[in-house]
Amino acid sequence: MTAALDVPGAAPRTRELLALQALAVPMPAVARMLFVVDFRPSMLCGRTRAFRSVAAAEAVVLLGAAACAAGAEVGLLTLGCGTAVTLSARPRPIREIVAGLVRAHEAASAHALAGRLDDPPLARALSGLGRLAAPGSAVIIVSGFETPGAGLGACLARLAEEHRLQLFQIADGAAACETRRDIAGLPAEVLNASHPPETIAARLAALVAQRAH
């Protein structure tokens, strides 16, 4: 699957993302959270069910819908070749997060179709993240973690010191067989883009339950 193909699974659709609220994973009580979603060119591909970028958008809804419904302050930052979509953390319905995800993915796809296929380094893309997330808030990064760039480890370490940092790596192929990987010295849970949302939701629920104990 490539970014040039108009096929199922190549782009997140508003109706399909909103339907995932039925599978939303209740997260531990948190007052404020920021989702950082990777839509760089390396995410705009997939082997079977969906692009990794689409699986990343699905994971955000599965992890964020319950928090939005509970009145938590939820924000969004997208990473890509074009202008980032930034939604400040505040009480907001999940449909605003979904609208931001769809808008950002459309822009990322347009850049890829125009030939911009090189990933900006992830470290550089995350360099200003600390200014967007209040100290102590949950910062959830959903990415393929390709093209890390110099200084990614130091960047993530700073974020982990000031925030409740969680890393989710979206993978497919052989890498998706793993359940946890090390990203610049920090653990990341691996989510398989080939799995349907129901399977990913069950895995996320198991992770939340495991951390609760």
pLDDT 10s digits, 4-47: 456 779 999 999 999 999 999 988 878 899 999 999 999 999 88
Distance CA 128, CA 123 (A): 10
Give the pLDDT score at 169.
97
Q: Could you tell me the end-to-end alpha-carbon distance of the chain, in angstroms, rounded to an integer?
A: 40
pLDDT 10s digits, 154-208: 999 999 999 999 999 999 987 788 889 999 999 999 999 999 999 999 999 999 8
Q: Which amino acid is at 128?
A: G
Structure tokens at 193: 């883009």
∠ Cα 97 98 102 (to 5°): 120
- 128-166 as b/e: b if 16+ CB within 10 A: ebbebbbeebbbbbbbbbebbeebbeebbeebeeebbbb
Distance CA 177, CA 38 (A): 21
Average model confidence (pLDDT) for the chain? 91
Query: Which is more confident, 72 or 128?
Result: 72
Share above pLDDT 90 across residues of the chain, in percent, rounded to a whole number? 75
Q: Which fold has domain 30-212?
A: Rossmann fold (3.40.50)
Q: Any alpha helices (H) in the chain, and if so which ranges?
A: 14-19, 52-69, 94-113, 122-125, 152-162, 197-212
At residue 2, does pLDDT exceed 50?
no
At residue 1, does pLDDT exceed 80?
no
Phi-psi region of 9 (alpha: psi -120 to 50; beta: other; left: phi over 0): left
139 DSSP β-pair partners: 34, 165
192 DSSP β-pair partners: 171
Mean local confidence (pLDDT), 66-84? 91
